[in-house]
Amino acid sequence: MPSALLEVQGITKRFPGVLALDNVSLAVGAGEVVGLIGENGAGKSTLMNILGGVIQADAGSIRLDGRAAAIRTVSDAIALGIGFIHQELNVLDNLDVAGNIFLGREPVWGGPLRLVSRREMFTRAEEFLKRLGLDIPGSTPLGQLSLAHQQMVEIAKALSQDARLIIMDEPTSALTLSETERLLVTVRDLRAQGVSIIYISHRLGEMGRCADRVVVLRDGRNAGELGRGEINHQAMVRLMVGRDLQDWYVHGSGAKAPRYFEVRGLRTRAHPACEVSFDVGRGEVLGLAGLVGAGRSEVAQAIFGVDAPLAGEVRLEGKTVRIQSARDAIRARIYLVPEDRRRAGLVTEMTVRENITMPDLWRYTVAGLVRGAKETAAAGAQCAALRVKTPSVEAKVLNLSGGNQQKVVLAKWLALEPKVLIFDEPTRGIDVGAKAEIYRLMRDLAERGVAILMISSELDEILGVSDRVAVMHEGALTGILERRECSEEAIMHLAVGQCPLRSAS
Ligand SMILES: Nc1ncnc2c1ncn2[C@@H]1O[C@H](COP(=O)(O)OP(=O)(O)OP(=O)(O)O)[C@@H](O)[C@H]1O
Ligand SMILES: [Mg+2]
């Protein structure tokens, strides 16, 4: 390892009911990229929050450049050269790019003419963005940027604060394939510029591509680490989970009744010129692939009634279902597990139990009173099935780790008895072990007769779980592949809008 920039020793952190970190150590060399991995709730974000000055450790020491560092606040961390790109981005949509980068430190050298300093600010912001290979005007309102670019703005902000160590907590979990590639290049560029990076991700493949070393946490403790040449999927999983994982993907027996759920001529506001038609069999998992922006989520939202379609028909068991709102969809037992848990999936101020039983409270209600015990038991059973890591079902969702929050979203919908279940990016931010668990649950539901539509940007997942795969490009359905026709190549071909690989049959 190069000379140590950061040395963390014996860090312990306790939350009510949880020992989040237990005597954890971590070292990062100058210009080194350290991958930090571990299951959901292993303590990764907690450790980073301590380094970033967001929270304080109960015990342990932090040294920077060999000197003891006291990090009590976020400003302390910034002053010490630690930049933090959070798991949930915290950029301000109503400011422009430069405003975000220089928030609270707006250059004032323009004298009394504020205008001059703004122009100066734009130029300086653009310089930092160029270091990241990005050519966007500093005056662009942040709300207009893609998530990937918003993230770059956060990195530019860290650079503008002279960060020598940048922490990236799951930076790629919401990025597209090409955006992920771009970020990995940025990570390597930053390293070449001498910046150290702690890189957290559940996409283990990224570790081999950017990390010099991988450090593994399990249940809040150091579980081991892997040097450059030892980084491979199996070794990482073994350290994370403590054993090998098998039966990763499970295929089922396929559709029991084709055309159980039919979508005909659906037109959405995002792509009014395109009509989308497909069907999902009873007991079938239909994968919906495509690049981000292809209009997949819009189709899901139209079916679920959150964004009423311009035209089209939805039929279930041969009967037309009129869907004007999510209430109509829920009544027909058509559910959507949304992509963004913060927007549509969870009320983080409420408890795990309340979130899980919320959509279906009537089931736990007797004469208008919610039956506490029954509700608690149901929520507990769902948490156990999905292995949600929480001290109890009475904990606020806010206090769960990112991946465990996602599991609560799933638990909430699985507790119902769906006929059609639409998953939008179901395993985003979820660890390997729990992913396997979720695929198994999805398959169990299909075997029990549910029609499942699964939107995913991870090709492995699409290939591993789907019985058939529908592919979208710019709002249109470009093809539906039978299981035997599915390959990464065939899907990508359709996803970029080219004609199907197979000859039309
Ligand atoms: N503010 C808090 N109050 C109570 N418990 C907390 C708080 N923050 C984290 N925890 C708990 O600490 C443990 C570690 O959480 P942490 O967020 O560090 O996990 P993680 O490794 O980042 O997981 P993920 O991969 O899901 O993001 C979890 O059990 C979590 O519920
Ligand atoms: Mg985390």
280 closest CA partner among 463, 462, 481, 452? 452
Residues 220 and 266 in one domain: no
Amino acid 382: pLDDT: 84
Amino acid 503: pLDDT: 42
- Strand duo 334-337 + 420-424: pairing: parallel
Query: Which atom of ligand 1 is nearest to 47's Cα?
Result: 18
The tokens of 55 are what?
């929270």
* 248, part of any domain: no
Pocket probe mutation, ligand 1, options 26, 37, 39, 46, max atoms within 8 Å of Cβ: 46
CB-neighbour burial class of residue 93 (10 A; exposed 0-12, middle 13-18, buried 19+): exposed
Q: Which ligand is nearest to the CA of 51?
A: 1
Give dist(CA 385, CA 428) in Å, integer.
18
CATH number of the domain encompassing residue 45: 3.40.50.300
* 355, part of any domain: yes
The tokens of 45 are what?
């974000």
Pocket probe mutation, ligand 1, options 392, 400, 401, 428, max atoms within 8 Å of Cβ: 401
* 111, part of any domain: yes
Q: Which residues have C-beta atoms less than 6 Å from ligand 1?
A: 15, 18, 20, 38, 40-46, 87, 389, 399-404, 431
Number of domains in the chain: 3
Closest residue (by CA) to atom 1 of ligand 1? 399
CA end-to-end distance (rounded Å), the chain = 58
Residues 102 and 204 in one domain: yes
Give dist(CA 370, CA 285) in Å, integer.
34
Q: In what order do the strands lie in the sheet with 276-282?
A: 276-282, 257-267, 311-316, 319-321
* 200, part of any domain: yes
Separation of CA 382 and ligand 1 centre (Å) = 19
**Residue 127, C-beta contacts closer than 8 angstroms, at least 6 positions apart:** none
Separation of CA 41 and ligand 2 centre (Å) = 7
**Interior angle at CA 462, CA 456 and CA 467, nearest 5:** 125
Q: Which of residues 366, 396, 415 is at a domain's end?
A: 415
Amino acid 342: pLDDT: 62
Separation of CA 61 and ligand 1 centre (Å) = 20
Who surrounds ion ligand 2 at CB < 5 A?
Answer: 45, 401-402
413 closest CA partner among 384, 382, 385? 382
Residues 313 and 176 in one domain: no
pLDDT in tens, 97-108: 888 888 777 665
* 211, part of any domain: yes
pLDDT in tens, 221-233: 999 999 999 999 8
Residues 407 and 495 in one domain: no
Residues 81 and 100 in one domain: yes
Residues 156 and 8 in one domain: yes
19 closest CA partner among 30, 11, 8? 11
The H or E element spanning position 59 is: strand 59-64
* 86, part of any domain: yes
Amino acid 250: pLDDT: 66
* 247, part of any domain: no
Q: 41 vs 21, 154, 404, CA distance in Å?
A: 10, 24, 7
Residues 399 and 311 in one domain: no
Helices (H) then strands (E): counts for the chain: 16, 22
Residues 45 and 122 in one domain: yes
4 beta partners: 29
The H or E element spanning position 48 is: helix 44-51
Residues 385 and 322 in one domain: no
CB-neighbour burial class of residue 104 (10 A; exposed 0-12, middle 13-18, buried 19+): exposed
Give dist(CA 265, CA 430) in Å, integer.
34
Amino acid 90: pLDDT: 63
Q: Which of residues 192, 212, 241 is at a domain's end?
A: 241
Amino acid 148: pLDDT: 80
Separation of CA 40 and ligand 2 centre (Å) = 7
Under-70 pLDDT residues of the chain = 1-2, 89-91, 93, 106-116, 243-255, 340-345, 359-371, 499-505
Give dist(CA 223, CA 275) in Å, integer.
51
Domain span at residue 426 reads 253-333+417-505
Amino acid 364: pLDDT: 47
* 340, part of any domain: no
- The pTM of the full predicted model, rounded to 2 decimals, is 0.78
- The helix/strand/coil state of 120 is helix
Residues 64 and 142 in one domain: yes
Q: Which ligand is nearest to the CA of 427?
A: 1
**Residue 112, C-beta contacts closer than 8 angstroms, at least 6 positions apart:** none
Residues 381 and 494 in one domain: no
**Residue 308, C-beta contacts closer than 8 angstroms, at least 6 positions apart:** 302, 323, 324, 325
Q: Judge contact between 406 and 428, C-beta under 8 A.
A: yes
Amino acid 102: pLDDT: 85
Residues 115 and 207 in one domain: yes
Q: Which of residues 212, 241, 270 is at a domain's end?
A: 241
